[in-house]
């Protein structure tokens, strides 16, 4: 398969496929310098940001910007599938398991850089992303179906709550 060279072409290719199983391959073919996404960088010194590139009934494509030291809450996607495509910098992905007492324990940790895509599926992957490096990190995240809500977990107790995610359709 040929590389996808612009964000516009990536969206077109995603729109051509109704089968979500093709999304990982399509996203992995997006190999463009980060300047293609710069119009979507909405960086904030206080918290990471999520900027929507495209959203329809089948998928949602977001640019996520992390300044040094920023991280997400511990969360899962409430039965949605997500693909993460690092564009610049490095993000740490921590995955958690539930303990018998309901709390959370760190199960694994990987570091995502450009060229190392990842996927999280079906609400089973409790995780957190963080930028531990000295420079900005940016990921391109693809969700199928679009996220309307996600589960957020308290780090110490594992208590979960449902929070809205993203703009309404």
**Which DSSP string corresponds to 102-142?**
S-EEEEEEEEE-TT--EEE-TTT-EEEEE--SSS-EEEEEE
pLDDT at 110 over 90: yes
In this predicted structure, what is the pLDDT of residue 167? 53
Give the chain's radius of gyration (CA, Å): 16
- Tell if the pTM clears 0.85, that is, is over it: yes
For the chain, percent of residues with pLDDT exceeding 90: 75
Contact 31, 4 (CB under 8 A): yes
**Mean of all residue pLDDT scores within the chain:** 91
pLDDT tens across 137-151, in order?
A: 999 999 998 888 889
In this structure, what are the phi and psi dihedrals at residue 15, rounded to the nearest 5 degrees?
-65, -25
Which is more confidently placed, 138 or 164?
138
| CA–CA dist 74, 62 (Å, integer) | 19
39-164 CATH, one of 1.10.3720.10, 3.30.70.2190, 2.40.40.20, 2.60.120.10: 2.60.120.10
């Amino acid at each position: 398969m040929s590389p996808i060279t612009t964000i516009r072409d990536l969206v077109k290719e995603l729109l051509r496929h109704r089968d979500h199983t093709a999304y990982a391959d399509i996203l992995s073919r997006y190999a463009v310098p980060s300047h293609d996404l710069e119009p979507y960088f909405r960086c904030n010194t206080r918290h990471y940001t999520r900027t929507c590139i495209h959203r329809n009934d089948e998928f949602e494509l977001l640019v996520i910007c992390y300044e040094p030291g920023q991280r997400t809450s511990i969360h899962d996607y409430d039965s949605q599938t997500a693909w993460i495509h690092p564009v610049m910098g490095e993000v740490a992905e921590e995955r958690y398991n539930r303990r018998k007492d309901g709390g959370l324990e760190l199960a694994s940790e990987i570091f995502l850089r450009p060229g190392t895509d990842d996927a999280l599926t079906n609400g089973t992957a409790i995780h957190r992303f963080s930028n531990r490096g000295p420079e900005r990190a940016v990921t391109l995240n693809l969700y199928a179906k679009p996220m309307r809500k996600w589960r957020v977990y308290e780090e110490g107790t594992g208590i979960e709550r449902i929070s809205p995610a993203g703009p309404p359709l």
